[in-house]
Amino acid sequence: MSFYTAMENAMARMVFCLNENLLAKNDGLAGLIDGKDNIKASVDDVLWADNRSDLICQLNDIERKRAEEGRKFFMFAMSPSFALKEEYEMENDGWSSCDIYCYENDETSGILSCRLRIMKLEIAFIHHDGQALIREFHLYTIQTMKAWPYVLKQTQNESVPFGIGKIPNFAEPSSEVYLRAEKTVNLLWDRLLRNIEDLFEKKDGDDGLKNIFDSGNSKRPVLGLTSSPLVSVRTDTTIDVVSPVQIFNLCTEAPNVQTVRRAFYYIKYHMALIDQVWKIEDSKVFYLFALPDIAYIPGKRYDKISYDLIPWTLYYADTPYMYMDDVYAIENILNTWLYGGRRAQLLNFYENHMKNDSFIPEMTMKSFGEKSPVHKGEAAILKKLSDLESHYIPGMFSFHMATTPVIIFSKDGKSARGTWFDHSATNLGRKKGDHGNISYMVFVGRYMHEFKKIGNKWYMTRFFGEPLLGMDDWEYDPMNTDGWVVSHQERDYPQPFASLEK
């Protein structure tokens, strides 16, 4: 098993435990932590420990308190970055770093509302008997957005109690099994729950997922974003997969009034190996947490759903080829792009990941629909990236969050195509006359990139991004935020693994 995969599966299990309040026992978060006592851990101002016994004691107190309060938040993790020991000077065997959108209920104003906490989760792992065990972790807030009230027909968040199930206690999967299971699950949403029969054991099956999630309007298909799944091996030919998904559906509350309805689910899949292909035998859906409806205003900005998402022109036919470590190399390239946008390092990204004499790179940011230009060649791309960097203000961050990766390879493993959904929040600066709040433009968008392996290094040869579903702006109040930005005003965004570096 690749240690990259072991880290991703352990990270997914950790987030599951945090969401399901499985903290202090060995069948929860405590069982993922190394048995030695020199453990370091922190969660904002809620938890701080520098030894294992103190950590377990604090986790027990938090678990007991949350059991009394019920489900008050949900964490949705984005595609992670990874590093191995040989890449950094580190005491441990590997690191992971991912962004998290944490949605939490807030009743301080007397009105039930929901606040977004933008966080980072960074973990240091050691290798032990084929598993990645946690030696150190830090979960901390970057900034918070202003809360949305539960209004219209949603008078309250009908979240469900803890207890959808414990972590499946079976064997760790191989890298190939994990990545093929992840790709199968993500293809459901990559295809917008259409033309998915080939992913199921039954030839005519979709296991009822369309009926549960589909809006029923061919021009308004459901969008689903996933995090890294938990994968456990039952037998040589059967596995269990637990996948988080955030659903976005357009709803009509009144004539000419549309909203985006958002909710979180866990889906448990039972998969079987049939003719050397992993197929979904059955699935079970667990509703978890609803967010307040948010306004959808057609025509406010370009988004593809205003026109028609069908046919899904960016869909690529799958291939059977899988190159395990190359998947993570490509994921790390994408995350370098995302971090580059927060630190004004996009020109460096081009230099390190798109520049090579053997091809002519191409970049399209389809923010204006068919009017959007295609930037082809170095001069055009550098001009575009320079323009983007010119708007950068330290401490005023925009967030592009990649989810739902589907990476397909050519037979020789020398070229690849990758697709992701991007839950983006772009800083628009202060409105005229408004000295407090800063508006954030919010989209679910689509990345579709192409890559080529030259020598022993992957390069991005074609960049494509397009907004799919636009929502009303989020608001950020820098004078009343929590998190890292409070004590690091006008500072550059923290680098990946910054909390782990010595």
What's the longest Cα–Cα distance across the chain? Answer: 64
Asked if residue 475 and residue 337 are part of one domain, the reply reads yes
Asked if residue 470 and residue 333 are part of one domain, the reply reads yes
Contact at 8 Å (CB) between 169 and 146? Answer: no
Give me the pLDDT at residue 62, please: 97
With tokens 């991703």, the residue in question is 8
Burial of 248 (0-12, 13-18, 19+ CB in 10 A): buried
Give me the pLDDT at residue 218, please: 47
Our count of domains for the chain comes to 3
Strands of 362-365's sheet, edge to edge? 374-376, 362-365, 457-476, 438-454, 415-430, 402-409
DSSP string, 399-453: B--EEEEEEEE-TTSSEEEEEEEEEEEEEEEEPTT-SS-EEEEEEEEEEEEEEEE
Q: Is residue 500 part of a domain?
A: no
Asked if residue 190 and residue 135 are part of one domain, the reply reads no
Contact at 8 Å (CB) between 67 and 24? Answer: no
Q: Is residue 155 part of a domain?
A: no
Give me the pLDDT at residue 210, please: 76
Asked if residue 348 and residue 290 are part of one domain, the reply reads no
> In a structure prediction context, what are the per-residue pLDDT tens digits for the chain, which is 502 residues long?
689 999 999 999 999 999 999 999 888 999 999 988 899 999 999 999 999 999 999 999 999 999 998 888 999 999 999 999 988 878 899 999 999 999 998 777 678 889 999 999 999 999 998 899 999 999 999 999 999 888 754 444 556 778 776 666 668 899 999 999 999 999 999 988 888 888 998 866 666 787 787 655 545 667 999 999 999 999 999 999 999 999 998 877 666 778 888 999 999 999 999 999 999 999 999 988 888 888 888 888 888 887 776 655 555 667 788 888 999 999 999 999 999 889 889 999 999 999 999 999 999 999 888 899 999 999 999 999 999 998 888 888 999 999 999 999 999 999 999 999 999 998 887 655 566 788 899 999 999 999 999 999 999 999 999 999 998 889 998 888 999 998 887 788 888 898 987 5
Asked if residue 336 and residue 224 are part of one domain, the reply reads no
Q: What beta strand segments (E) does 94-192 contain?
A: 94-106, 113-128, 131-144, 148-149
Asked if residue 179 and residue 137 are part of one domain, the reply reads no
Give me the pLDDT at residue 320, please: 82
Asked if residue 242 and residue 372 are part of one domain, the reply reads no
- DSSP, res 278: E
Tell me how far apart the alpha carbons of residues 251 and 296 are, in angstroms, rounded to a whole number.
9
What CATH number should be reported for the domain holding residue 388?
3.10.450.50
Give me the pLDDT at residue 7, please: 96
196 contact partners, CB below 8 Å, separation of at least 6: 187, 188, 206, 209
Q: How far is the CA of 41 from the CAs of 4, 45, 58, 59, 332, in angstroms? A: 21, 11, 11, 11, 24
Phi-psi region of 275 (alpha: psi -120 to 50; beta: other; left: phi over 0): left
Q: What beta strand segments (E) does 111-229 contain?
A: 113-128, 131-144, 148-149, 223-226
Q: Is residue 165 part of a domain?
A: no
Give me the pLDDT at residue 156, please: 44
- Residue 139 tokens read as 């979960």
Q: Which amino acid is at 300?
A: K
- Residue 383 tokens read as 């001009």
Q: Is residue 159 part of a domain?
A: no
Measure CA 321 to chain center: 24
Closest CA to 217 of 196, 200, 192, 190: 192
Half-sphere exposure of 448 (CA within 13 A, CB side): 12
Asked if residue 102 and residue 21 are part of one domain, the reply reads yes
Q: Is residue 161 part of a domain?
A: no
Domain interval for residue 471: 324-487
Asked if residue 242 and residue 334 are part of one domain, the reply reads no
What's the distance, Cα to Cα, between the start and end of the chain in Å? 28
Closest CA to 95 of 134, 126, 124, 137: 124
Specify which residues 396 forms β-bridges with.
Answer: 393
Asked if residue 329 and residue 470 are part of one domain, the reply reads yes
- Residue 320 tokens read as 């059977």
DSSP string, 47-103: EEESSHHHHHHHHHHHHHHHHHH---EEEEE-PPEEEEGGGS--SSSEEEEEEEEEE
Asked if residue 337 and residue 249 are part of one domain, the reply reads no
Contact at 8 Å (CB) between 132 and 125? Answer: yes
Closest CA to 442 of 55, 116, 112: 116
Contact at 8 Å (CB) between 125 and 6? Answer: yes
Last residue of a domain, one of 262, 297, 332: 297
- Residue 354 tokens read as 């798109």
Q: Is residue 69 part of a domain?
A: yes
Q: Is residue 315 part of a domain?
A: no
Asked if residue 34 and residue 126 are part of one domain, the reply reads yes
With tokens 């990270």, the residue in question is 11
Tell me how far apart the alpha carbons of residues 190 and 447 are, in angstroms, rounded to a whole number.
11
